[in-house]
Amino acid sequence: MKFFEDCEGITEPQGFFASGVPCNVMGKNNGKLDLGLLYSPRACTAAGTFTTNDVKASPVLYCMDLLNDPKQNFHGVLANSGNANACTGKQGDLDCVKMASETARHLKVHSKEILVCSTGRIGVHLPMSRITAGIADACQDTLEELDGGKAFQEAILTSDTRTKSCSAQVETSSGKVTIGGTVKGAGMIQPNMATMLAFLSTDAAVSQTFLQQCLSGAVEQSFNRMTIDGDMSTNDTVLFLANGFSRVNIEKESKDIISEFKTAVSRICACLARKCVTDGEKVTKFVEIQLHGASSDRDADKVARCIANSLLVKSSWYGSDPNWGRIVDAAGYAKVGLDFERFDLWYDDIPAVERGQPLPANKPKWKEIVSRKSFVIKIHLNSGSGSAVLWSNDLSEEYVNYNKSE
């Protein structure tokens, strides 16, 4: 497998075109690209995963409904930043339909063949006349087959500081297939902005069932492994489109190739998720928590999340303070029956606590590790074979300052 970062992303596979245009969603007139379109002239199968928040934005409900029909094909995705179209009632649902139908009209496809995503402020109606004008521009760009992968990446950003993309190539018996992906930040860029959107595309020919299976497996081990501030959005969405342009039917390939394709999807999702965490709002550090020896994977996940979401733990990371006491405290309130006398903890490969006994002689080494931009905290509960990995980051004063008001 060949793997690339910071590339065209979703337009790396053949037969996909993208664009990003400014349509002034927030009314700030700052020229920011804020409407993106991904378009495949060839019909695609599509898979998706969505936020599990009780409060789902209109575009989330819209996409879930369309993907519910396994026979439905798609030609593209329209995504705007600056406004989440969440908590916007019936008008929000109508705006969603309008975005799809306007796009479909320009692209001369059926309205149901266009997916819609939004990210941004909650509780404000979309400025539909400006969006409609933007859709015309975005469609024109993709129809002219301009190379707009980067523009699309920019158009979906909110408080992210940089675009994020990667792609993978898999050689098969019938030729090469490519998978591309891009994501926008899991950090909260502006007040009420709290969404992760990720898009994947491939020129492989695959069934909807297989595509969804690949995506769900990969998302569970990537996007679902990250937590920046514990706040789950109303809009989180991952979409994966396959247009079959390569004429390679992955499901008819050998077991090894199928497995390599799945690995490629997983690697793309993992790469995008890590980029997201690193570009979290006002983040200075990337921390991987490896939790082993729990009674079950679920318990391991619970403990890891308590640690990763603890304000005190996150504050200490920001201050380059190892502070294993806070980590133990957070692990304890996960209430999975933790026995501290069996508790092991390492910073990278340096043991800090062994069977509940701190090893203070190693302290200078832990301190050095925690002062790095990226490190691993490994914990063993020695109570079973359940494990979990979680990607997180620190909490900075700047985060609070950044999010304190509109």
Report, as residue numbers or ranges, the catalytic residues: 195
Interatomic CA distance for residues 180 and 142, integer angstroms: 17
332, 348, 368, 382: residue in contact with a second copy (rule CB under 8 A): 332
Q: Which residue has the tokens 């008001």?
A: 405
Interatomic CA distance for residues 271 and 218, integer angstroms: 11
Q: Who's near 198: CB < 8 A, 6+ residues apart? A: 181, 182, 183, 184, 223, 237, 238, 239, 269, 272
Alpha helices by DSSP H, listed for 82-230, are: 89-107, 128-143, 149-155, 208-220
DSSP state of 124: -
192, 201, 202, 266: residue in contact with a second copy (rule CB under 8 A): 192
The nearest distance, CB 134 to a second copy, in angstroms, is 23
101, 216, 295, 320: residue in contact with a second copy (rule CB under 8 A): 320
The C-alpha torsion from 156 through 158 and 162 to 165, rounded to 10°, is -30
**338 binds a second copy per the rule CB under 8 A:** yes
73, 316, 387, 392: residue in contact with a second copy (rule CB under 8 A): 316
- Beta strands in 150-236, from DSSP E residues, in sequence order: 165-172, 175-184, 197-202
Residues 108-127 that bind a second copy (CB under 8 A): 121-123
**321 binds a second copy per the rule CB under 8 A:** yes
8 A C-beta contact, residue 266 and residue 117:
no
Residues 242-281 that bind a second copy (CB under 8 A): none
29, 30, 31, 54: residue in contact with a second copy (rule CB under 8 A): 54
Nearer residue to a second copy within complex by CB, 329 or 348: 329
Burial label, 44 (beta-carbon count in 10 A; 0-12, 13-18, 19+): buried
**384 binds a second copy per the rule CB under 8 A:** no
**383 binds a second copy per the rule CB under 8 A:** no
* Stretch of 33-41, 139-147, 267-275, 390-398 contacting a second copy, by CB under 8 A: 390-398
Burial label, 279 (beta-carbon count in 10 A; 0-12, 13-18, 19+): buried
Instruction: Measure CA 77 to chain center.
Output: 16
Nearer residue to a second copy within complex by CB, 65 or 339: 339
The nearest distance, CB 112 to a second copy, in angstroms, is 25
333, 342, 372, 385: residue in contact with a second copy (rule CB under 8 A): 333
- Sheet of strand 386-393: strand arrangement: 357-358, 350-354, 344-347, 374-380, 286-294, 386-393
**341 binds a second copy per the rule CB under 8 A:** yes
The nearest distance, CB 286 to a second copy, in angstroms, is 17
Binding site for a second copy (CB under 8 A): 52-56, 86-87, 89, 121-123, 188, 191-192, 194, 229-234, 309-312, 315-316, 318-321, 323-326, 328-341, 356-358, 395-401, 403-406
